[in-house]
Amino acid sequence: MIRKASRCGVMIVRIGLPEPRPCLRLFCDGNHTPDLTGLENVFGYVKILGKGPSRSGTSNGTRWWVQDKFGDKRLIDAKSLFSGNSRGLAARKNSGLGFSKLSEYNAAFRHVKAIVDKKCRDYSLYFRMKLYKKWDPRSNGLSIGQSAQLVVQWMRETDQAKPGLSWQLHVLKTKKYPYGFFGPNGIMWRHKMDRHDQDLLDLISEFSNKKWKEFIEQENRRRDNV
């Protein structure tokens, strides 16, 4: 009688794993492959759905079906998950979901360049704008492009990615920063067709939490009576 091969089952502790996971390999030679099935909010993805077909022609071609934050199902190499090469920051190419980092990068690059580059045609309009020190090429030792990448990284990490193709980056103008603050809590996306809302966004950004809640309650009552 031929015995059915059993899985290795050794519990694996590895950087990137929130908990020890059993090795799923058969006839394991010590090169363990942890079972990622069911893990949630890891490697930048919503959930690891299950093991996918292995990549042929490689010594360790394990791949996993994952669900990204755009609601799309994707097949990702285990190596890319653990190395950080695949982090779920952008939607799968040609998926029609989400928006590429490129559009966010271009918006960030244009603003940083206009603030710091005297040769930029928009410099006269932006040079008074306050730029967050960590994003400022004049103080962080990075190029304008590298600084723009930091802006995109912040957008993704704080779930403030560009909502759609028809949205534009807006820098809030407040009493503290009348010319705008290009930094955390100072920038947001607005629909480019709603230009008349720009002043409103600037106004409500300075509302206290109490005043904001009162405004929402009052507006809800008004709408309920329309």
Domain residue spans in the chain?
Answer: 11-83, 101-224
Q: In what order do the strands lie in the sheet with 73-77?
A: 40-42, 45-51, 63-67, 73-77
Average pLDDT score over residue span 151-174: 87
Q: What percent of the chain has pLDDT over 70?
A: 86
Tens-digit pLDDT profile for residues 23-55: 988 888 878 889 999 999 888 888 999 999 987
How confident is the model at residue 1, as a pLDDT? 47
Average pLDDT score over residue span 141-167: 88
pLDDT surpasses 60 at 66 = yes
Which residue from 70, 76, 82, 73 is spatially nearest to 42, judged by alpha carbons?
82
pLDDT surpasses 70 at 94 = no
How confident is the model at residue 52, as a pLDDT? 92
Which residue from 15, 13, 10, 14 is spatially nearest to 29, judged by alpha carbons?
10
Which residue from 68, 62, 12 is spatially nearest to 40, judged by alpha carbons?
68
Q: Which is higher by pLDDT, 208 or 57?
A: 208
How confident is the model at residue 103, as a pLDDT? 81
pLDDT surpasses 90 at 11 = yes
User: What number of residues does the chain have?
Assistant: 226
* Contacts (Cβ under 8 Å, ≥6 apart) of 179: 128, 129, 130, 173
Residue with tokens 């960030």: 108
Grade residue 167 by pLDDT with cuts at 50, 70 and 90.
confident
* Contacts (Cβ under 8 Å, ≥6 apart) of 116: 131, 136, 137, 138, 144
Q: What percent of the chain has pLDDT over 90?
A: 38
Count of Cβ atoms closer than 10 Å to residue 52 Cβ: 17
